[in-house]
Structure formats: structure tokens, C-alpha cells
Amino acid sequence: MSKQPVIICPNLAENLNKAIAKCPHDKIFILVDEHTHILCLPLIQKMESLKDATIIQIGAEDIHKTLETLAHVWKSLGDGGATRHSLMINLGGGMVTDLGGFAASTFKRGIKFINIPTTLLAMIDASVGGKTGINFNGLKNEIGVFSPSECVLIDTQFLKSLDSYNLLSGYAEMLKHGLISTTEHWAELLNFDMNQVDYKRLLELVGESVQIKEDIVAQDPFEKGIRKALNLGHTVGHAFESLALATGRPVLHGYAVAWGIVCELYFSHLKVGFPKDKLRQTIHFIKENYGVFAFDCKQYDTLYEFMTHDKKNSAGIINFTLLGEIGDIRINQSASKEEIFEMLDFYRESMGC
């Protein structure tokens, strides 16, 4: 898989013009959701290179990351006269870049696409690394392909229109990057004031976070080994996310990951000796900023069933990414059903639910 350039944009219009110029095309399509159509599209739509672009709009939020929405995008491309030489620009959060990347990668066996992430989560996670896909059969990202965009253009001006919930959702993935990198980076993330956001400093932290992910993806583009480090918090987090959807109370992806980190750091302490003080500090930060996802012991079996569908599993064994210390990554760590239930007990006790 080829590496996609990730550009922190001092001037989005200038960087986008250069990116488009590097992609010979007959037509341009811009994929937006109902929010980015209003809030973000006006920032690029007046560009000369986009004057004849066709806009495709989809619903916002993860509930629309479906086969039906994907079919709508395919149909819109076909109805709009797209060919194998067309270009699609995905302007939105992780749902737009995931689904848009998958649509572009499969339409006529693949057209080129550019990602312009507009949420913090998409900037440091969803739009970087070449993963695309949709939810299917009640499971997160069940169907998809590895397919890098031509480039990712990051402009933090979009973050100023985000509410605190969406900022925190992305920040959870940054915290994960801190945990798998260095104690210094983890500590500066815990000390960043999310109530009084310094956007200049946040841009620097975003750059560091993207670099951490890029370095790992470069070593293991198809997730055969060390890239599984990026799944810290996700085995349990995706189960929380799926339960939330199934019970009609959807949660933002980053919140589910944050709660998943609580569980998987507990396993890390129990199984490979992750330090208790750092476990407590991280749990305190998550509890203070993300609240709690409440469930009872009657739902343990459902959560366990969701975990059995995780893509990191092999031969029916549920695999976790754990840490012996910050930056000391232990992939392919297994746990029994009894241990997973004990972990869920710990989560409910430590988070006060």
C-alpha cells in the first residue's frame, strides 16, 4: 500500500489546488454530510478548480455509515457521469472519509480520492492510514478495504466549529497515541486544558499524533503486526459502540475508545504489569472528561459476543493490544470469557456505574 501524504495546511485553498493538480481528472465530486455541507463546504467551494464540482450529500453521524448510504454514493457517482478518471473529495468527519474512501475505492474498481477531515477524530485517525469501510450487520467497520487517499489535507480552522463532545471524541484517539508512544507525550496530553482550548498548541499536538500513526502504518500497512498497537482500547470500545447502537443510545467513537482504554489498561496492569499509578491517572482523566457508559451485568454476554466479532481475533480467540508500560506494546494478548467479565466488573466499579 502506497503512503499517502498528510499535509498540515497553512493555506487550505492553495494546498487543495496543488493536490487536485496532481490528480488528472475529468470530473470532480465532493462528498459532504448534512453538517459539513453547511459549515465547511463554503470554505472551499468558491475555488476556481471546484466551480464545476458535483456535490453528493449524505446523512451525518455513524448511523448513516451503512450499505444503503454507500449505494446512494455509488448511484450519485454513476448518475453524475463519473468515470474511472474522476476524482472525489471527502469533506467531513470519520464517517465521511471512511465511507467516501470505500465508495471511491470500489466504484469502477477504484477512482482517486482526497480526504479533507473536518473533525479532530478524522484528522488524527479516520482519514489517515488507508482504512475505509462501513458498518454492517450491527458491527463496526465490518466491510471495507485498505485504500490510501491521494493525500490528506489537515486544517484546524474546521475545529473551531466543533462542539466539545466532538473535540473530546478525537482527543481520545490522541490519548491512545500518547499511551503507545512516550511518557512525555502522554503526560502533555493529560495536562492539556480541554476547557480552554489553545488551538495553536492543539495543532502542534495533532501534528505529533499524526506522525505517531504514520510511523506505525509505514511499518505495517496491512495490520499484520505492530499496527495492531493502534487498536488499544478498540476491542472493548467497539463492543461498547455496538451495544450503544443496539440499545438506541449511540455514542461518539472516541468516547467508546476512551471507555475501552479503561478496560484494556486494567488488563495491561493485570497481565503484563502496566504501572498502577499511570492506570489511575489515565482513568481519572477519562472519567473527568468522558463520563461513563452505563450497563449492567445482564449485558455482559452481549458485549462478549460483540468482542468475538473483532477483526483482530484469530481461531475464535479474542485478542487485545496491551501495554507493559507507556510505549511498551504487547499485541495479540488473549483473555478468557471469565477474565473479560472480571474486566467489565472493574470498569463498572472504577467508573462508578
CATH number of the domain enclosing 63 = 3.40.50.1970
Residues 127, 117 contacting (CB under 8 angstroms): yes
Burial grade of 121 (CB within 10 A; 0-12, 13-18, 19 or more): buried
Burial grade of 48 (CB within 10 A; 0-12, 13-18, 19 or more): exposed
- pLDDT tens readout for residues 86-99: 999 999 999 999 99
**In this predicted model, which residue has the larger pLDDT, 235 or 199?**
235
| 115 and 23 within one domain | yes
Which residues does residue 116 pair with via DSSP β-bridges, in sequence order?
91
d(CA 343, CA 334): 13
> What does the angle CA 304 – CA 309 – CA 313 come to, to the nearest 5 degrees?
100
d(CA 257, CA 246): 17
Which one, of 11, 271, 43, 304, lies nearest residue 153 by Cα?
Answer: 11
pLDDT at 108 exceeding the cut of 70: yes
| 145 and 213 within one domain | no
Q: Which domain holds residue 67?
A: 6-161
| 131 and 215 within one domain | no
- pLDDT tens readout for residues 191-204: 999 889 998 899 89
pLDDT at 229 exceeding the cut of 70: yes
pLDDT at 1: 59
| 133 and 216 within one domain | no
Place of cell 470500489: 106
d(CA 85, CA 335): 48
* Domain of residue 234, CATH code: 1.20.1090.10
| 245 and 303 within one domain | yes
In a 3-state reduction of DSSP, which class is residue 145? coil
Q: Is residue 302 part of a domain?
A: yes
pLDDT at 41: 96
pLDDT at 200: 86
pLDDT at 2: 61
pLDDT at 314 exceeding the cut of 80: no
| 43 and 110 within one domain | yes
Residue that finishes a domain, picked among 111, 141, 161: 161
The size of the chain, in residues, is 353
Q: How many domains does the chain have?
A: 2
pLDDT at 3 exceeding the cut of 80: no
Lowest mean pLDDT, pick from 47-51, 104-108, 347-351: 47-51
Q: Is residue 290 part of a domain?
A: yes
Q: Is residue 1 part of a domain?
A: no
- pLDDT tens readout for residues 330-344: 999 999 999 999 999
DSSP string, 239-258: HHHHHHHHTT----HHHHHH
| 292 and 194 within one domain | yes
Residues 258, 174 contacting (CB under 8 angstroms): no
d(CA 225, CA 282): 26
d(CA 60, CA 58): 7
Residues 284, 257 contacting (CB under 8 angstroms): no
Residue that finishes a domain, picked among 113, 144, 161: 161
Confidence of residue 223 (pLDDT cuts 50, 70, 90): confident
| 127 and 75 within one domain | yes
Output DSSP code: residue 51: T
Output DSSP code: residue 56: E
Which one, of 185, 170, 177, lies nearest residue 254 by Cα?
Answer: 170
| 169 and 156 within one domain | no
| 194 and 96 within one domain | no
Could you tell me where the beta strands, DSSP code E, fall in 193-303?
none
Q: What percent of the chain has pLDDT over 70?
A: 99
- pLDDT tens readout for residues 254-310: 999 999 999 999 999 999 999 999 999 999 999 999 999 999 999 999 999 999 988
| 230 and 172 within one domain | yes
Lowest mean pLDDT, pick from 49-63, 126-140, 165-179, 277-291: 126-140
Residue that finishes a domain, picked among 106, 134, 161: 161
Burial grade of 291 (CB within 10 A; 0-12, 13-18, 19 or more): middle
pLDDT at 70: 98
Question: Phi, psi at residue 317, to the nearest 5°?
Answer: -95, 130
